Amino acid sequence: MQLDFTLKKYEQLCRSILAAGLRTFTISEFLTSATDHEGIVIFRHDVDRNPLQALSMAQVENKYGIRGTYYFRTKTSVFRTDIIQKISQLGHEIGYHYETLAECRGNYKDAMALFIKELNMFREICRVTSISMHGRPLSKYDNRDLWQKYDFLDHELYGECYLSIDYNHVLYLSDTGRTWHPTRYNVRDKVSGQTLPELETTDELIQFIGAGMNKPLCLLTHPNRWTDSPLIWGKEWLLDQCVNRIKEVLIWVRR
């Protein structure tokens, strides 16, 4: 049996999307497109760690003519300008994976100042027109709350992934927790307003796509999870198991 969450499995997923005749969009393309959105998949990737694996995923997509959006954090180990540039040169969109309200412990003024500073760091490298909050499940601060006091549209942005897409009309599936199940291990990486299929494996997702969809699909992956290296795969598997146990407690406590 072939392992899940490998680049080989991701290639199968990409092929299944193209075989189903679906069009692929970046986040900004979706937000600015006036065309019919039926029969499309939006490719979104949150680069929480291991940017080299993000580059590997970007190369797989490029092989199949797919363009996605890669949201990078500004952590030193993640904010690799050489890799960001390489992914951008492959035709993918680069976005800012912000977490400033958590970083500033709920101080909105400081968080906004940090947001502007970090956004400009990206714009010294490439064009950035969309953003996505980083969940930070262990923090009591939800980074999206920054926009209760400020407006991201004031910063030449088309939108924010969680706030600018109408998820009443777009299916949202994430690999958070090493499963495609919509709620099992999601503390903040989720949306409201829809009933989602309870998929577990990528094979189940491929079958779901092949059966036909009546809504656009926004597909979120975390590239650090997808690798053909047995050593890295095992490390990521173990980390996911540990984090999932913590998330189960958090979800239970916050009910």
Q: Using one digit for the tens of pLDDT, what is the confidence trace for 44-101?
A: 999 999 999 999 999 999 999 999 999 999 999 999 999 999 999 999 999 999 999 9
Average pLDDT over the chain, rounded to whole? 92
Query: Which tokens hold the place of 110?
Result: 């400081």
199 exposure class (CB count in 10 Å sphere: 0-12, 13-18, 19+) = middle
Q: In terms of Cα–Cα distance, which of 52, 28, 15, 50 is closest to 126? A: 28
Query: What is the average per-residue pLDDT within 205-228?
Result: 94
pLDDT at 65: 98
Alpha-carbon gap, residue 117 to 196, rounded angstroms: 37
Q: At what angle do helices 7-19 and 202-210 cross, to 10 degrees?
A: 10
Query: Which tokens hold the place of 192?
Result: 């409201």
What is the CATH number assigned to the segment(s) 7-253? 3.20.20.370
Contact 217, 42 (CB under 8 A): yes
Three-state SS at 73 = coil
50-59, 73-82, 172-181, 202-211: which range is least confident on average? 172-181
**pLDDT of residue 177 exceeding 70:** yes
pLDDT at 37: 82
Q: Which amino acid does the sequence have at 247? A: K
Q: What's the predicted TM-score (pTM) here?
A: 0.94
Domain coordinates of the chain in residue numbers?
7-253
Q: In terms of Cα–Cα distance, which of 235, 229, 198, 224 is closest to 8? A: 229
Alpha-carbon gap, residue 242 to 244, rounded angstroms: 5
Alpha-carbon gap, residue 68 to 76, rounded angstroms: 23
pLDDT at 193: 61
Query: Which tokens hold the place of 92?
Result: 């993918």
pLDDT at 201: 96
Query: Which tokens hold the place of 133?
Result: 């909050």
Q: For residue 181, what are the contacts with CB-CB under 8 A and spacing of at least 6?
A: 198, 199, 200
pLDDT at 190: 63
